[in-house]
A and B are shown apart, each in its own frame.
Chain A
């Protein structure tokens, strides 16, 4: 090169810029809390990548901006620059060095991936089912009950065996870092070892139709003792005759031991907007319907909404409610009549439960 000083300046600047840029990047690009064992090697790779990003970005930008300032054309100078064509040694260096760098990252990625997908000792299996637009989680090793909330014991390796009832979905808890699609007609697996007790959310990451944005489910990572209590509560056979309508209503809401889609998949209790309207303060509320008319959420309206789901859609919501409950509720009521000899009305139970949800 004709002027060694420029090269020295730029080299120094690249290194001077790289370090603060790296810390700036890490400040802007914060990762969510790391709550799984998988997050550790993944976050190490993130660090590696961010160092590479900071260096490469500085390298090119410093060269470009330095040239723009130092080599700008003087006013009135219409001569050309030096006639430098190419430099084979340079070309080979900037082909070969990146090759080794990307290969290094490739090998690092391979080793880490192998870790993430290989089976762990004493894994617990949980079956994950996605459907438009809710999640359900079954525990085959705990008598197979199912839950709309994913409850995980801390530090227990789990393997999620996942399937979809309709279209593609994708299981992503950002705090766990790993992600896997749910494919109808095929079982996919994902391994997670949660390490931090706390509440998280599963967020569907593959566009799955109208209410994709609200296809969320709660995740609770709990202590081993709390998990056992959870399992015990869910596996005790309920005696419906001994429960109040409100208690039964809450049970129907979460799906209970019935195998229908839980209400909880699409209707929140805390006002969060999911695929359907929240039940918080629903009873007696005046709702605006799609056609501009309004209606009061009384017993009749709630019953009709469950049995003829697409007759009266609340404005801004999609007609997403499955029309299966006439049959599934009747079957369940007949089963309870046969087992316990009492007649219950599941919709009445639900209405009683909704009445307790005052704002």
Chain B
């Protein structure tokens, strides 16, 4: 088989075809029923919604994710298949449904970066529009669709990126052979694909102008595209829920011998905290999104005030998930920082238990602060004060992390390879996000800053510092483990030195514009605000960030083709995944290991974290 036909028969193409067929069937079905009933068929919205819903199982069937489960229904046993599809080369595993956690992790990673580039491209498009006052080359509606899509597409990208890190790393770190439910793991990834397709196709059927929050009543009136956005968002939630259950079961039941909770690599703690949030909060937003879909499609009444609904209700349901979910984004990122700092500082992680528990602390407090997104919404005044106090408390566990990181570096022996640079960049950027948060938490100052560009700057700092920078650090750091090759250090450093100052400039500029009175989500701004120079700088900075990410993509692709193999443990790490040579076996560790010490005891002579359990002699 040649390369083209392998691609054309891959699960991605089959899934897409399945989704198109499913959508057409659903669309035709509703249109036919409406025609028979004599209803107005020129209103295609109900048919599009039903088609979109049927398209998702269509995609899963086409890709082949459901094959095993369907066979089980009919009483057929199916073994877990490992390796490439029959008669196809090894690399085709990565474009087909596969149950190995490392393959799925890499699929998540590739998709995440691809979706990141799409969402980033949208941002560049509307940033250029904003460089000067007046409408340049976009219409208001184009602009609104682009920024709305940028938001939700980036969230999809981040969730995929979290999935990539958690899937690839956690089983390796805890000494498990795979995730607890490998087929469910594949499902979690593959159900995310039709979700992204739905969101992107929403842009072509009218777009939508609600931002990623989709507040009614605006979302009840927005163009048809909003339906596909809501459904795509909803379907993405299935991926989160299934993935987080899998992770929690894996960590609780499949740890290596001797790996007590406080001897787990710190990243695993972050993954647990993030999964608890995903597992418990995603349902709420799913419900809120479906309520809007049903209100629009079949006239159920939840949010429309003219018929007795309450638009504020949606905001509560929405933020009950959507606030905690930002901790799903940042906790794994902060976990990467805590994981890498000791390696590049050659010192133990300072206050391991405090950092581990602070992740749970952030996850817990994160559930009690959602209404700070609604300080100006008109909710009951008596609710505002407790939410202000709880919001301020987020600073405490976050502070613990910062202080512990500083103490970890203190008097260490620091070296500055690209992953470490990105870790330090993360800390500086997340610090900007962190210190600009409390000013939004106290209501009087928030009354000025709410829905202004200050929020845009603050939010992007937390996302870049809490996810993007650490994700890039993780990509560079584990690249030799994944590919067996070393990335090009010079390009990695170039990426860092372009992206970090550019990001500082971008977020600091956004905050300045906000303080001066620039509202968020506007297609055009009033030159009287005095922010024109700032806007130009922010746009230039955004372009530099975009180019620097392309440099990384080039670096990763070109380095993979190099002939020279990387060292087995290039960072001299104590973590178990670095103790085995490339390539990692299908089931990770040929011989199981046992935990005999603490994970980060750098500088303690003769200490060991893991050792291989000797195989019992035959006949023992």
Q: Which 9 A-B pairs have the closest CB atoms?
A: A185-B305, A174-B517, A109-B442, A213-B522, A83-B603, A80-B603, A102-B392, A188-B378, A81-B412
Whether, in the assembled complex, B609 has its beta carbon less than 8 Å from a beta carbon of chain A, the answer is no
9 of the cross-chain contacts (CB-CB < 8 Å) are: A42-B444, A49-B442, A52-B435, A71-B412, A84-B347, A103-B392, A109-B388, A213-B522, A318-B139
Please measure, in the bound complex, the distance between the C-alpha atom of A201 and the C-alpha atom of B392, giving whole angstroms.
32
Question: Is A67 within 8 A of B403, CB to CB?
Answer: no
When C-beta atoms are compared, the residue in chain A nearest to B602 turns out to be: A80
| Interface-side segment among A58-66, A227-235, A327-335, A344-352 | A58-66
A39 to chain B, nearest CB (A): 8
Whether, in the assembled complex, A13 has its beta carbon less than 8 Å from a beta carbon of chain B, the answer is no
B522 to chain A, nearest CB (A): 4
Whether, in the assembled complex, B215 has its beta carbon less than 8 Å from a beta carbon of chain A, the answer is yes
Whether, in the assembled complex, B381 has its beta carbon less than 8 Å from a beta carbon of chain A, the answer is yes
Question: Is B602 within 8 A of A81, CB to CB?
Answer: yes
Whether, in the assembled complex, B52 has its beta carbon less than 8 Å from a beta carbon of chain A, the answer is no
Q: Beta-carbon contacts of B298-313 to A below 8 Å, as 1s and 0s? A: 0000000110011110
Whether, in the assembled complex, B552 has its beta carbon less than 8 Å from a beta carbon of chain A, the answer is no
Q: Beta-carbon contacts of A209-232 to B below 8 Å, as 1s and 0s? A: 111111010000000000000000
Cβ of A83: which chain B residues have Cβ within 8 Å of it? 347-348, 601-604
Q: Beta-carbon contacts of B512-530 to A below 8 Å, as 1s and 0s? A: 1001110111111110100
Cβ of B416: which chain A residues have Cβ within 8 Å of it? 68, 72
B interface with A by C-beta (< 8 Å)? 134-135, 139-141, 144, 209-211, 215, 217-218, 221-222, 305-306, 309-312, 345-348, 350-354, 376-378, 381, 384-385, 388-389, 392-393, 395-396, 399-400, 402-404, 406-407, 409-416, 424, 427-428, 431-432, 434-436, 438-439, 441-445, 447-448, 450-452, 508, 511-512, 515-517, 519-526, 528, 572, 601-604
Total CB contacts across the A-B interface at under 8 A:
294
Question: Is A167 within 8 A of B378, CB to CB?
Answer: no
When C-beta atoms are compared, the residue in chain B nearest to A177 turns out to be: B448
| Interface-side segment among A93-101, A138-146, A151-159, A241-249 | A93-101
Question: Is A64 within 8 A of B444, CB to CB?
Answer: no
Whether, in the assembled complex, A343 has its beta carbon less than 8 Å from a beta carbon of chain B, the answer is no
Question: Is A209 within 8 A of B218, CB to CB?
Answer: yes
Cβ of B348: which chain A residues have Cβ within 8 Å of it? 83-85
Please measure, in the bound complex, the distance between the C-alpha atom of A75 and the C-alpha atom of B353, giving whole angstroms.
33
Please measure, in the bound complex, the distance between the C-alpha atom of A206 and the C-alpha atom of B373, giving whole angstroms.
12
Among A80, A94, A110, the residue within 8 A (CB) of B399 is: A94
Whether, in the assembled complex, A170 has its beta carbon less than 8 Å from a beta carbon of chain B, the answer is yes
Q: Beta-carbon contacts of A97-140 to B below 8 Å, as 1s and 0s? A: 01100110110111011001100000000000000000000000
Question: Is A29 within 8 A of B448, CB to CB?
Answer: no
Question: Is B395 within 8 A of A185, CB to CB?
Answer: no
Q: By DSSP majority rule, is chain A's interface helix, strand, loop, or mixed?
A: mixed
Among B217, B396, B428, B432, the residue within 8 A (CB) of A102 is: B396
Question: Is B400 within 8 A of A174, CB to CB?
Answer: no
Cβ of B438: which chain A residues have Cβ within 8 Å of it? 49, 52, 102, 105
List A40-99 residues whose CB lies under 8 Å from chain B. Answer: 41-42, 45-46, 49, 52-53, 56-57, 60-61, 63-64, 67-68, 71-74, 77-87, 90-91, 94-95, 98-99
Please measure, in the bound complex, the distance between the C-alpha atom of A144 and the C-alpha atom of B400, giving whole angstroms.
57
Whether, in the assembled complex, A355 has its beta carbon less than 8 Å from a beta carbon of chain B, the answer is no
Cβ of A81: which chain B residues have Cβ within 8 Å of it? 345-347, 411-413, 602-603
Question: Is A99 within 8 A of B414, CB to CB?
Answer: no
Cβ of B515: which chain A residues have Cβ within 8 Å of it? 29-32
Seed contacts A207-B520, A316-B139; 20 additional CB < 8 Å A-B pairs = A28-B508, A45-B444, A45-B445, A61-B431, A63-B406, A67-B414, A77-B413, A81-B602, A85-B348, A91-B351, A103-B389, A105-B438, A105-B442, A109-B443, A109-B444, A167-B215, A178-B447, A201-B528, A211-B140, A212-B522
Question: Is A84 within 8 A of B447, CB to CB?
Answer: no
